[in-house]
Structure 1
């Protein structure tokens, strides 16, 4: 493990699907000497896509961690998925990373999932650099991508390289190298060594004018970041490269800018300068602010942990991989030291855990011969031994405790009923589903004991399809699968006030309680349910009776609505008063009255269904736009905007998830395979009347 935290880099590769994230990762491993042959996504030979499902589909599904060295730097790199169904993998990685490399395809540019991952990085204040990939592809356009990043992502990319040529080898001016605008040299990459041999040559005369213009733009950005550089410019003195890099680093760390490099990862062009940029511009753990948390069970407290080995230990569990020999817990160490055969506390569960073994991670497995005795602040490792912690939990020193903010994941939008073909397999199926839930925070499974079915929920069709394949192929389960269904939400249409009562004989005791409750819709229908105690201070309802009534309302609200038991949202319940008798009232009576009031209130407020709406982005050649728009309208879609980029049109639309089953296949059919689409959850809106009528309560 590295002793110098300043030379440690915890970085992620994030991008839209097919932008080349895994190829970039493979090339980094090869160029750093961590592996001797370059893996290929299309051959299923990459280190990080080591799951059979990933190799079969040619996409990343599960985040993977690899460790390698580049010069003086020790790099922990997390390769993440690009498909929106697996956005939880990106979320958990960005939560624990210090910096990110955002990859864009030079042909497709800024795409839908590019925006999603950029917003996720913004949410966690992650500094990033930009790599424009695939400059050797037909239709590559460096400047187009650069111009999209500002307005579409609210970014400020600063090119420190520009390409020489664009497109494949058979074109008149193919991509053949990059110009380093800081040193004002051209870099050429030897194809026979697959990019390991880099030659620094003078800039060709026919490229010098363009290079000079781009360098002037770079220096203008540097002047805004460095007063020292501005002073040199006013004195008409040259700005040394070291000063340019220092200014860019400071601008990157404070998230004012994103240094931009370019190349073709498939052919090893531009990846060495990208690795240099990771070391030069992205932060070490020591460059990041201290993590903030609370003292367990004291929500109003706030304490910090600096990234130092001298601080008390704390870390965050960000991924769990079930294994027969003991689950593998991936932990980011924020402060202190974690030692093998030690004990830690998990404040989220109020449990102590054993740290039996510590391992370095390679891809999704423990690194061979990678067992270690100790992990220091800033690093990432695999731990074997814990039993109670789940993804997002804090692990900390047992004597000096802290609870860090957890990881928030999007809610599942699609469900499917499954059941074992043989009742004897039911126990095994439930065990496997529990294992998958530990591994994937966006996967949910609930058993219906009456029907014997399990309702599994995920982020989309592909997500559920991968779960199906894992059950049948990886675990050998014989399972029946039923048609997916949409996860609706329930809310109310108008305010209402009711009185719930308990007036019954329980054994020899007469029980009495009366509770006045009002309910009202919230302005934002996507808001969680709110429950407030508004009982006047002089009320006869006191102490535990009051608490019992409010707790019962919260539990009823968490249990779902009256239409079909879907989760409730967008409403507020107020307990406004009531009556208690001195002898016949107790907390149980007020729980009964609260339950009666809840049912009455929701019925009186006209419950209704909300359906999930997806934000879609379709990129299509102009000639297919009419057919695609017509199809969207038939699916109750609303066009948000259209943008034209050369011969391609990008359509942003919003449509109900119910109408979008099989949409990716449909859009390919409408465009003869030339259009692409992606979607992500956007929000909820009132469902059609026929959907409401299909349920009864």
Structure 2
């Protein structure tokens, strides 16, 4: 592999069917990586490797390909466009220097286009807009340019024009620009305040060569600064033939084979193998410098979102901040059932591997009911999970109805305490806790009102583990995301033994004592503080023809969606409002039928609202400490900690 002067990591993002994967194929062909571009319809594209991707003609998992253009090594990342796979896009954003936002010259700005552009703007990433499909019947480049300027960014600047739009002879003619104009635009693009617009067709190749020139000319790359220790971020985990590979962006230093690197603060692990993407292939190397994407072997504990090393690697995306939370977490879940009862164990093992590759699946197992639940963004994910389990693991599954993932909010303050050696406490530990509500989004906090030296550090660690486990499943079984837990009392029996004997657990406190007692004491404190169950509510925006407004409003009401704002302009009605998370799919299905296919619906998790009526409960994946309150006499020292 030849060293290059700089590296550019570019993501291709778009609404589903706008032509991202076709554009990737054409780019690789223009760059000399492919002899001929693959076809989504034919199912022979370079980046859609999953059978279901080829079958349905959609991208499900992000893929990385590499090529060289004008002395720049470009790592191109093809991302999903369907909203159900937004987590894959989120992970790609963690490693990007810039993005190409693909917009169809026929359909124009669509629902997911808006969501993606807002995320890119929040991150401060430079964006080049490629208006695709200028050769298709119905293509209107000028209209779409107006939509881009009015709905995405007023600083969208066309770098050329289209002749023969709507025909196979459509061509892109770039404008002539002087050095001063070029320099000013380059500065605006790199500051993410100006967005060049290129027109073309991924199928015919019109405008693609010019797009590559724009990437090399205007976008900021990463130089090979190899000083300092290796640092970066993990953005993907893959398993191929049982082999685990971690994909990571190296942000500073240089990562080498046999390096021992601490990932996310855990014990350092040895790099046993390195590969980089080079002209459509993965090539083994001994070293990966800053700016490149490395395929790392040997990191068994690394998870998506983990940072490794120090220095500049701790930052995410272009802005250097955390990349988590740019998109909302899944607000839905479903229980997965094996068609054949004897496959339950194999199904759990397979889902565990899938959760390793996609942590937002958030696998939960209820041993008592032998139920396994996974988190979802939408219904299409069910089909994907089922297809992967059947094809890769030989396990056939079905799904129960999708439900919302609620949370619990602490209402007031509650305290509880159990003293060592005082009935009914069966554990050799003293734990006193106070739980208090925190503002929305504050997260979980743990504090001490006891001396840090009052007992061994391992016991404090066990208390914190007990706190975390209890807050995962609150009074009604839902997670408690915002709460402060304060340890008010502590006490223990030192390590003891009978004369001439070894350590006697019956006389000495253990971490298990503190872990188990903490869960019970916090459960009692939470019961006294009280919690309220809150369900997820999405904020939606809906753009429809004005003449169907009445029928659409009726449909929204049937799905408990509440429009809060309505704007009318030039025959178009734009509605904004709130809809329960578990009603989003129903609305999405009905809007195309009611709007002649012209409706554009976007939504995202906005907040949680208290539920009406009896509080909904969630099956627990861990032993239930709340069931023991008031009946301490039944608790044994062997009570599990979960």
Report the TM range for the smaller structure's normalisation: 0.7 to 0.9
Contact 1:13/1:103 (8 A) holds in 2: yes
Q: Does 1:285 align with 2:198?
A: no
Name the CA distance, whole Å, in 1 between partners of 2:362 and 2:427. Answer: 43
Name the CA distance, whole Å, in 2 between partners of 1:517 and 1:344. Answer: 39
User: Cα gap change, 1:359/1:541 in structure 2, threshold over 3 Å: closer, same or farther?
Assistant: closer
Q: Which segment is superposed worse, 142-151 or 463-472?
A: 142-151
Root-mean-square deviation (CA, aligned residues, Å) is 3.8
Q: Which residue of 1 aligns with 2:348?
A: 430
Q: Which residue of 1 aligns with 2:576?
A: 652
Q: Which residue of 2 aligns with 1:206?
A: none
1:567 to 455, 479, 491: 479
Name the CA distance, whole Å, in 1 between partners of 2:247 and 2:427. Answer: 56
Contact 1:319/1:330 (8 A) holds in 2: yes
Q: Which residue of 2 aligns with 1:320?
A: 237
Q: Which residue of 1 aligns with 2:635?
A: none
Q: CA deviation at 1:25?
A: 1.3
Query: What do residues 154-189 of structure 1 show as CA deviations (whole Å, max 9, x unaligned)?
Result: 5622222233464x23xxxx9833342334xxxxxx
Q: CA deviation at 1:640?
A: 4.2
Q: CA deviation at 1:527?
A: 3.9
Q: CA deviation at 1:61?
A: 0.9
SS at structure 2 position matched to 1:285:
coil
Contact 1:548/1:590 (8 A) holds in 2: no
Name the CA distance, whole Å, in 1 between partners of 2:109 and 2:484. Answer: 40
Contact 1:457/1:464 (8 A) holds in 2: no
Q: Which segment is superposed worse, 456-465 or 387-396?
A: 387-396
Q: Does 1:259 align with 2:196?
A: yes
Contact 2:330/2:375 (8 A) holds in 1: yes
Query: What do residues 37-91 of structure 1 show as CA deviations (whole Å, max 9, x unaligned)?
Result: 2322233232222222112222211111111233433321001111222112112
Contact 2:19/2:202 (8 A) holds in 1: yes
Q: Which residue of 2 aligns with 1:377?
A: 290
Q: Which residue of 1 aligns with 2:299?
A: 386
Q: CA deviation at 1:147?
A: 4.3
Q: Does 1:457 align with 2:378?
A: no
Contact 2:274/2:294 (8 A) holds in 1: no
Contact 1:518/1:601 (8 A) holds in 2: yes
| Structure 1 unmatched runs, 5+ | 184-240, 287-306
Name the CA distance, whole Å, in 1 between partners of 2:584 and 2:230. Answer: 47
User: Cα gap change, 1:256/1:672 in structure 2, threshold over 3 Å: closer, same or farther?
Assistant: closer
Name the CA distance, whole Å, in 2 between partners of 1:396 and 1:595. Answer: 34
Name the CA distance, whole Å, in 2 between partners of 1:604 and 1:344. Answer: 45
Q: Which segment is superposed worse, 153-162 or 440-449?
A: 153-162
Query: What do residues 480-539 of structure 1 show as CA deviations (whole Å, max 9, x unaligned)?
Result: 4322222111113x323444334755899997858462523x342x4423343356x8xx
Contact 1:132/1:263 (8 A) holds in 2: yes
Name the CA distance, whole Å, in 2 between partners of 1:352 and 1:549. Answer: 25
Q: CA deviation at 1:257?
A: 1.6
Q: CA deviation at 1:312?
A: 3.1
Query: What do residues 296-355 of structure 1 show as CA deviations (whole Å, max 9, x unaligned)?
Result: xxxxxxxxxxx4134433343221111125222222222333344655443532132232
Query: What do residues 546-566 of structure 1 show as CA deviations (whole Å, max 9, x unaligned)?
Result: 947963673354332111x11
Q: CA deviation at 1:687?
A: 1.9
Q: CA deviation at 1:613?
A: 1.6
| Structure 2 unmatched runs, 5+ | 317-321, 495-506, 620-625, 628-642
Q: Which residue of 1 aligns with 2:330?
A: 412
Name the CA distance, whole Å, in 1 between partners of 2:231 and 2:116. Answer: 27
Query: What do residues 88-117 of structure 1 show as CA deviations (whole Å, max 9, x unaligned)?
Result: 211221211111111222344333322322
Q: CA deviation at 1:282?
A: 0.8
Q: CA deviation at 1:693?
A: 8.2
SS at structure 1 position matched to 2:162:
strand
Name the CA distance, whole Å, in 2 between partners of 1:500 and 1:552. Answer: 17
Contact 1:84/1:680 (8 A) holds in 2: no
Name the CA distance, whole Å, in 2 between partners of 1:331 and 1:582. Answer: 46
SS at structure 1 position matched to 2:185:
helix
Q: Which residue of 1 aligns with 2:613?
A: 689
Name the CA distance, whole Å, in 2 between partners of 1:149 and 1:408. Answer: 27
Contact 2:26/2:37 (8 A) holds in 1: yes
Contact 2:233/2:314 (8 A) holds in 1: no
Q: Which residue of 1 aligns with 2:622?
A: none
Q: Which residue of 1 aligns with 2:213?
A: 276
Q: Which residue of 1 aligns with 2:226?
A: 309
Name the CA distance, whole Å, in 1 between partners of 2:617 and 2:275. Answer: 56
Query: What do residues 625-684 of structure 1 show as CA deviations (whole Å, max 9, x unaligned)?
Result: 322221112211122444567665444342111223444333334345554544332232
Which residues in structure 2 correspond to 1:671-690 (within 5 Å)?
A: 671=595, 673-690=597-614
Name the CA distance, whole Å, in 1 between partners of 2:549 and 2:578. Answer: 16
1:598 to 501, 512, 522: 522
Q: CA deviation at 1:451?
A: 2.2
Q: Does 1:639 align with 2:524?
A: no
TM-score between both structures, scaled by the size of structure 2: 0.82
Query: What do residues 373-398 of structure 1 show as CA deviations (whole Å, max 9, x unaligned)?
Result: 4433322232334322222234459x
Q: Which residue of 2 aligns with 1:485?
A: 403
User: Cα gap change, 1:642/1:82 in structure 2, threshold over 3 Å: closer, same or farther?
Assistant: farther
Query: What do residues 223-267 of structure 1 show as CA deviations (whole Å, max 9, x unaligned)?
Result: xxxxxxxxxxxxxxxxxx233222222221122322222223333
User: Cα gap change, 1:387/1:248 in structure 2, threshold over 3 Å: closer, same or farther?
Assistant: same
Contact 2:408/2:478 (8 A) holds in 1: yes
Q: CA deviation at 1:356?
A: 2.7
Name the CA distance, whole Å, in 2 between partners of 1:324 and 1:387. Answer: 15
Q: Which residue of 1 aligns with 2:179?
A: 242
Q: Which residue of 2 aligns with 1:99?
A: 98
Q: Which residue of 2 aligns with 1:353?
A: 270
Q: Which segment is superposed worse, 310-319 or 149-158?
A: 149-158
Q: Which residue of 2 aligns with 1:212?
A: none
Contact 1:530/1:572 (8 A) holds in 2: yes
SS at structure 1 position matched to 2:360:
coil
2:444 to 529, 535, 538: 529
Contact 1:340/1:358 (8 A) holds in 2: no
Name the CA distance, whole Å, in 2 between partners of 1:686 and 1:87. Answer: 27
Name the CA distance, whole Å, in 2 between partners of 1:585 and 1:340. Answer: 46
Q: Does 1:5 align with 2:5?
A: yes
Q: CA deviation at 1:140?
A: 4.2
1:447 to 356, 365, 371: 365
TM-score between both structures, scaled by the size of structure 1: 0.76
Q: Does 1:180 align with 2:104?
A: no
Q: Which residue of 1 aligns with 2:79?
A: 80
Q: Which segment is superposed worse, 145-154 or 271-280?
A: 145-154
Contact 1:127/1:253 (8 A) holds in 2: yes
Contact 1:490/1:566 (8 A) holds in 2: yes
Which residues in structure 2 correspond to 1:534-545 (within 5 Å)?
A: 534=449, 542-543=454-455
